[in-house]
Copies of this chain bind each other. A is one copy, B any other.
Amino acid sequence: MTNIPDSHPRKSSLLSRQKIVDGAKRGLLADSAMIAHGRGEAYDYLLGERTTSSASIAIREAAARLLRAVSPVISMNGNSTVLAGAEAIKIAAIVGCPIEVNIYYRTEERMTRLVNELESMREELLASSPRAERDAISRVEILGLVSDGRIRGLEGPRSLCSADGIEKADVVLVPLEDGDRCEALIALGKEVIAIDLNPLSRTSRTATVTIVDEVSRALSGIVNELHSKPEPSIWDNKNTLKDALEVMGNSYLRI
């Protein structure tokens, strides 16, 4: 890991970049994962690399809907695992739901590596957590290797999922989702809570609740909100997207 001084104004962005470069070297990521990360960096730069007030409200809504759900699941890919796997496990422990590894460019090798990565993150979290939280953490299931479910409306390997995870879920929390898959999940009547830094992406526009924020900030935010047990509201998703774009547009004031 490169040594970045604490005083560097963009330290957390540079540390995330390093996690992605390392994750790529370790074979956890798809070929184009670094490009996707770069896109996220750019949007985050325009946001000012902070959680906006409208993203905070979306984070609260996400926490509320995960708590109300009958069968929630957290769908993780390579980038989200590398950047925020531990936060996803914390959410799963509090909500009492499984995590499912589900990737766009599916290979058995990468699926196994990502499941192993999340399992070792769970062990680390267990070791560093207070006794009262350990039981819930140790019960977090990491699904994905057994693809006994299907996402109807998708073709080929992209349709594979876990029967106990995405297939039966009513609410799917999915950081960094592909547009096709988001549309298919919505068409199946599921609520999709997406985390996406591009407010114009198909996923952002299609999801039930879109959190326009960097994935580790968004997942940490959900962990915090879960403790206050929020209630779902009537949600206008277009509003949160417009607000994010306005913040980006106003970034010219920083020149």
Interface residues of A (CB under 8 A from B): 17, 20-21, 31-32, 34-43, 45-46, 198-200, 205, 238, 241-242, 245-246, 248-252, 254-255
> How far is A84 from B131 in the complex, measured between Cα atoms in Å?
58
> How far is A17 from B41 in the complex, measured between Cα atoms in Å?
16
> How far is A255 from B248 in the complex, measured between Cα atoms in Å?
14
Taking A34-B35, A35-B37, A199-B255 as known contacts, 7 extra A-B pairs with beta carbons closer than 8 A to each other, sorted by chain A number, are A34-B34, A35-B41, A38-B38, A38-B41, A39-B42, A46-B46, A249-B251
Partner of A38, one of B31, B36, B46, B246: B36
Q: Does more than half of chain A's interface fall in helix, strand or loop, or is it mixed?
A: helix
Shortest distance from the beta carbon of A18 to any chain B beta carbon, whole Å? 9
Supposing A246-B252, A249-B245 touch, asked if A200 and B38 sit within 8 A by C-beta, the answer is no
Shortest distance from the beta carbon of A240 to any chain B beta carbon, whole Å? 11
Whether the Cβ atoms of A250 and B252 lie closer than 8 Å is no
Supposing A41-B39, A251-B200 touch, asked if A21 and B32 sit within 8 A by C-beta, the answer is yes
Whether the Cβ atoms of A199 and B252 lie closer than 8 Å is yes
Supposing A42-B42, A46-B248, A249-B250 touch, asked if A255 and B200 sit within 8 A by C-beta, the answer is yes
Shortest distance from the beta carbon of A65 to any chain B beta carbon, whole Å? 22
Q: List 11 A-B contacts (CB under 8 A).
A: A17-B32, A20-B35, A35-B41, A39-B39, A39-B42, A39-B45, A46-B46, A242-B255, A245-B249, A245-B251, A246-B252
Whether the Cβ atoms of A42 and B32 lie closer than 8 Å is no
Residue of B whose beta carbon sits closest to that of A43: B42
Shortest distance from the beta carbon of A1 to any chain B beta carbon, whole Å? 13
Question: Cβ of A251: which chain B residues have Cβ within 8 Å of it?
Answer: 200, 245, 249
Shortest distance from the beta carbon of A247 to any chain B beta carbon, whole Å? 9
Question: Cβ of A46: which chain B residues have Cβ within 8 Å of it?
Answer: 46, 200, 248
Whether the Cβ atoms of A245 and B238 lie closer than 8 Å is no
